[in-house]
Amino acid sequence: MGGRGLCGKAPVLDLRLPVWHPAGDKTGFDQMNLFADIRALVVAELTAMTAEGALPAGLDFAHVAVEPPRDAAHGDMATNAAMVLAKPAGLAPRAIADALAVRLAKDARIMAADVAGPGFLNLRLSNLVWQSVVKSALTDGADYGRSNAGGGRKVNVEFVSANPTGPMHVGHVRGAVVGDALSNLLAFAGWSVTREYYINDGGAQVDVLARSAYERYREANGLEPEIREGLYPGDYLVPVGAALKEKYGTSLLNQPESVWLTDLRDYASAMMMQEIRNDLAQLGVRMDVYSSEKALYGTGQIEAAIQTLRDQGLIYEGTLEPPKGKVPEDYEARIQTLFRSTAHGDDVDRPVMKSDGSWTYFAPDIAYHFDKVQRGFDELIDIFGADHGGYVKRMKAAVSALSGGRVPLDIKLVQLVKLYKNGEPFKMSKRAGTFVTLHDVVEQAGADVTRFMMLTRKNDVALDFDFAKVLEQSKDNPVFYVQYANARINSVLRKAQAAGLDVSDAALAKADLTQLSHPAEIDMAQQIAEWPREVEIAAKGNEPHRIAFFLYELASEFHGLWNRGNDDPSLRFIQEGKDATSCAKIALARATGVVISAGLSILGVKPAEEMR
RNA sequence: GCACCCAUAGCUCAGCUGGAUAGAGCGUUGCCCUCCGAAGGCAAAGGUCGCACGUUCGAAUCGUGCUGGGUGCACCA
């Protein structure tokens, strides 16, 4: 036996004894999450202690946590159980901790359980546990870290929703990326996700679009366009004008607006939407549903939504106080139809109908969100630009009222992106006139780099995007740093394969992982073990940026291990003449790669196979 | 005037939803790099977590009140 190229022959590493999953503890999905496993063990022991009378009955274990300690010197994991329970149990924290420590230490996975400080219980886990994590990553592959935290709940993520009046610009990019990555993340964490775009094609802005397009149509017919104040000046409408000439010839020239407005509005906004779809595709953003504001008019949906509010006594006729501070000069109190949003947490009531009897923008938006509620979503998420901050409370109030408080609405405000090039503020206006388009950004930086960088800040903080820096190949550049780690891993696999080793995941999963005993290797495995936990934390907080940060840390750990191989050849992944050891080390590298791929896939970034 | 967001090392930012001596990168300083895995590596210095109260075993994290910066505030979308 021991033929070259085999990564088998390992002792059985499956430590999943029944004790890991006490009956009634959630679903089987958490079995990949080591922290959840150990927490389950702690809770099981606490339950047993209660049964034996060591703890009073009726204690709430909800706040018992198992987490990595801030300082790794304290151990692999720590639980606050004793401190959380001390007061309600009427016992000293250390007494509970001591008793719990004795019990936990009996578990095969736990090497040591030490009480520290005011009552922390520090746990040191057997290397076998960390080694088995490597195996899990290899056997689960792309599903490693997948979670059922969402429990299959239906969530609707509305994002982008740019007006169909022009191409997408930088301001839209971040919201698009955040929404797309968040959708990926939630899907990975067990939610049933619908990605939705709300087309604002019902308001005055599409009339402006139609008039602007009409001027371009005149231009296409050899006339001088009159781009008056208030029209869209961008030359992206030139092709629209040409298409209109193609379709209508000269028949619309010198015709009054009433003749062509409706047609041009539909035609131009359809063309703009097509362009927006192309932009999204270029950025790698996928939508499941496009909903139209215009389609809500005339169907009775707006009336029905307002009626639902009226039935709750939330609609009334009245006048609003003028805004305090700077009052507009032409302010004049008027009677309007108002939504009593203050009954659901807003600061002032909001108009749904203008004094001339037409709907405000808010009304179709209410109807649209009512539609989402009626479609049966359990949760709604809206991604808005930061300039919509004033809109958050009224929208939440509306959803709260329309769903009877059943459906939570989380609104993520995405802050500005400031563009730079070599530290200088970046201005470019190829075709748009005044703004940098999404197309320009992606063309310069690439979709992968753009997406990753947009996720390196939490959404409510402004972000600097420097075209020079994001393309730099150095450690300063997080995209490169993570991609480089993946490239190194692939390089190891290629070399091993060339040397005749079977480096398939199936083969590597059978490697003798007990060979991974060096602290640096255990550290690497521990980082891999954190992945499922990180996914759940990020998903529950709707915070995709955590994935980007985690990948950076993971890459950092990997590069660190790689660099130590410079000084200590025994830490190199390929050990000449020692296939069993090589297989184990390559398995560790590949497991790291599995997580990087999974993480990048959530971010919507293609992993780099090699750097050039 | 009101609402929302932000404030953590010189700079750019993380910080596990309340845990132990608050972290990373850049920058600075020092050391290492003829070859064996260096588009680098190791180490050090650097903090009143904007301020003040409060909640409790325990606060950067939660609450209240301030200060400074950003954004938005009548029938615009």
ipTM here:
0.91
pLDDT for res A210: 95
Question: Is the residue at A372 inside a domain?
Answer: no
Last residue of a domain, one of A107, A125, A143: A125
Question: Is the residue at A20 inside a domain?
Answer: no
Question: Is the residue at A246 inside a domain?
Answer: yes
Find out whether A169 and A431 touch, Cβ atoms under 8 Å.
Answer: no
For A449, the enclosing helix (H) or strand (E) is helix A447-454
CB burial readout A580-600, b (16+ within 10 A) else e:
bbbbbbbbbbbbbbbbbbbbb
Q: CA-to-C1' distance for A509 and B19, Å?
A: 37
CATH classification at residue A506 = 1.10.730.10
Residue A20 has pLDDT above 50, yes or no: no
Report the range of poorest mean pLDDT among A342-346, A423-427, A586-590. A423-427
Listed in sequence order, the residues at least 6 apart from A457 whose beta carbon sits closer than 8 Å to its beta carbon are: A415, A463, A545
Nucleotides in chain B with any atom closer than 7 Å to protein CB: 1-7, 12-17, 19-26, 36-42, 56-57, 70-77
Query: Structural domain of residue A119, as residue ranges?
Result: 33-125
| pLDDT tier, A427 (very low <50, low <70, confident <90, very high otherwise) | low
Last residue of a domain, one of A266, A283, A300: A283
Distance linking the first and last C-alpha atoms of chain A = 40
At A98, list the tokens: 């001591």
CA A546/CA A558 separation, integer angstroms? 18
CA A62/CA A51 separation, integer angstroms? 18
Question: Is the residue at A154 inside a domain?
Answer: no
CATH classification at residue A62 = 3.30.1360.70
| pLDDT tier, A428 (very low <50, low <70, confident <90, very high otherwise) | low
Question: Is the residue at A490 inside a domain?
Answer: yes
Chain centroid offset of residue A105 CA: 38
Residue A171 has pLDDT above 90, yes or no: no
Shortest CA to C1' contact from A351: nucleotide: B75
Number of domains in chain A: 3
Question: Is the residue at A531 inside a domain?
Answer: yes
At A409, list the tokens: 């609405």
Task: Write out pLDDT tens, residues A194-213.
Answer: 999 999 998 888 999 999 99
Q: CA-to-C1' distance for A326 and B11, Å?
A: 38
Whose CA is nearest the C1' atom of nucleotide B40? Answer: A563
Mean pLDDT of A132-147: 93
The mean pLDDT of chain A is 87
Mean pLDDT of A453-461: 90
Radius of gyration of chain A (CA): 30
At A163, list the tokens: 């007006």
Paired sense of beta strands A289-292 and A192-199, if any: parallel
Chain centroid offset of residue A263 CA: 39
Question: Is the residue at A380 inside a domain?
Answer: no
CA A594/CA A146 separation, integer angstroms? 12
Q: CA-to-C1' distance for A235 and B47, Å?
A: 52
Find out whether A422 and A177 touch, Cβ atoms under 8 Å.
Answer: no
What is the four-CA torsion angle of A34, A39, A41, A45, rounded to 10 degrees? 170
CA A511/CA A506 separation, integer angstroms? 9
Task: Write out pLDDT tens, residues A236-283.
Answer: 999 999 999 999 999 999 999 999 999 999 999 999 999 999 999 999
Shortest CA to C1' contact from A163: nucleotide: B77
Q: A118 and A208: one domain?
A: no
CA A31/CA A16 separation, integer angstroms? 9
Listed in sequence order, the residues at least 6 apart from A385 whose beta carbon sits closer than 8 Å to its beta carbon are: A171, A175, A413, A414
Shortest CA to C1' contact from A63: nucleotide: B18
Task: Write out pLDDT tens, residues A110-137.
Answer: 998 988 877 888 898 999 999 999 999 9
Q: CA-to-C1' distance for A401 and B63, Å?
A: 27
Residue A604 has pLDDT above 80, yes or no: yes
Question: Is the residue at A304 inside a domain?
Answer: no
Last residue of a domain, one of A64, A92, A125: A125
Q: CA-to-C1' distance for A320 and B74, Å?
A: 7
CA A523/CA A525 separation, integer angstroms? 5
DSSP letter at A426 equals P
